[in-house]
Amino acid sequence: MVTLKQLAKELNVSISTVSKALNNSEEIGEETVKRVKELAELYNYKPNKVALSLKQNKTKTIGVIIPDILNHFLAKVLFGVEREATKYGYNIITCISNESLEQEKESLRLLANGSVDGFILCLAEETQVKNEIEHFKKTISQGLPIVMFDRVAHDVLCDKVIVDDFDATYNATKSLLLEKRKNIVFISTLDGISVGKLRERGYRKAILETNTFEPLVLKIKKKDDQQKKIMSFFKKNTTIDGVIAADSSSGIIALNTGVKLGLKVPKNMSVIAYASKSDSFHTIPKLTTIRQHAKEIGANAAQLLINRLQNKSIEIDVKTKIVKTTLIKSKSTL
């Protein structure tokens, strides 16, 4: 990479003259500016990012820590963050915590050495289970702002972007009840994490309000064979006529299993799942989905962080933004 020094030497001027010329300073003579710019162009000069970061004490880089990149929702949020950040000239350093508290701490620690100006993150499952938050507080007290999304720690004072999990699941369940469904099951693989609990509660509230049947919950562990679990559950519970799935995989498999067992969907059984558009194509009939607008969540998180980074005025108040889900009716419901 060419440096100012090299340009200066070749042009027989000082480094500061070159710097000023390239930054369109008024001080420098027209002729000089022209000469400098031409040579810079020729050598494809670009200001060294690292030097700038050191000088200005900011990196224009955001650390993003997510529990699992293979989770479609989280990948989509990352996409939203990246796109929004790029707009404002920020880069993204991505770390994957693998749902592990230790890795989450380590990533935070490693990047809190001047590598990034702030963090956007989604809590690891283990972090939520153990309810550890000290590492977040420490990071923030070091002057690195954090924005949490989806799975957040309410006891940490920072900006947050969340989903209306409770309401959305409540409303989805209600909509099945309106279809006169009499035996709706809630299927979930998200037992450990906050959003999973919220979704279950939303479901339970809707069911309990009807006063006609008891909540019925099927929890599936990561290591289980999801297909077998759901199949044997359906065989045991033959009167199931509705499914609320907390994750896309459960929804897709539940629908396919119902069809396999001879149920007509949505005539005999309705299915609603938290899932994305592309997931909804993986069943016939197409899946009715609760969309979380992951890209928007990412974009919002990025905006909140960048705002905080660029606001010189010390804003003390933290914001929590709720990105509302949308129930997209398709062919798996009446």
- If one asks whether residue 10 binds DNA (CB under 7 A), the answer comes out as no
User: Angle 323-133-316 (CA atoms, 0-180°, nearest 5)?
Assistant: 60
Binding mask 77-116 for a copy of itself (x = CB under 8 A): -xx--xx--x----xxxxxx-------------xxxxxx-
* Residue 217: strand, helix, or coil: strand
Binding-site partner at residue 17 among a copy of itself, DNA, none, CB < 5 to 8 Å by type: DNA
Residue 83 burial (CB count, 10 A): 14
- If one asks whether residue 281 binds a copy of itself (CB under 8 A), the answer comes out as yes
CA distance 233 to 59: 53
Candidate list 34, 38, 43, 54; residue touching DNA; CB under 7 A:
54
- If one asks whether residue 175 binds a copy of itself (CB under 8 A), the answer comes out as no
Selection from 161, 150, 256 nearest residue 196 by Cα: 150
What is the DSSP annotation of 287-319? PEEEE--HHHHHHHHHHHHHHHHH--S------
Binding-site partner at residue 252 among a copy of itself, DNA, none, CB < 5 to 8 Å by type: a copy of itself
CA distance 282 to 252: 7
Give the binding range for DNA (CB under 7 A) out of 29-37, 98-106, 146-154, 168-176: 29-37
CA distance 23 to 309: 24
Binding-site partner at residue 119 among a copy of itself, DNA, none, CB < 5 to 8 Å by type: none
Instruction: Give the side-chain half-sphere CA count within 13 A for 96.
Output: 8
Beta bridge partner(s), residue 148: 121, 160
- If one asks whether residue 115 binds DNA (CB under 7 A), the answer comes out as no
Candidate list 22, 133, 177, 327; residue touching DNA; CB under 7 A:
22
- If one asks whether residue 41 binds DNA (CB under 7 A), the answer comes out as no
**For residues 159 and 145, is the Cβ–Cβ distance under 8 A?**
yes
Binding-site partner at residue 151 among a copy of itself, DNA, none, CB < 5 to 8 Å by type: none
* Residue 58: strand, helix, or coil: coil
Selection from 2, 11, 5 nearest residue 33 by Cα: 11
Binding mask 57-86 for DNA (x = CB under 7 A): x-----------------------------
Residues that bind DNA (CB under 7 A): 1, 3-5, 12-17, 19-20, 22-23, 26-29, 31-32, 45-48, 51-52, 54-55, 57
Residues that bind a copy of itself (CB under 8 A): 1, 44, 46-51, 53-54, 59, 61, 69-70, 72, 75-76, 78-79, 82-83, 86, 91-96, 110-115, 138, 142-143, 226-227, 249, 252-253, 256-257, 259-260, 278, 281-284, 286
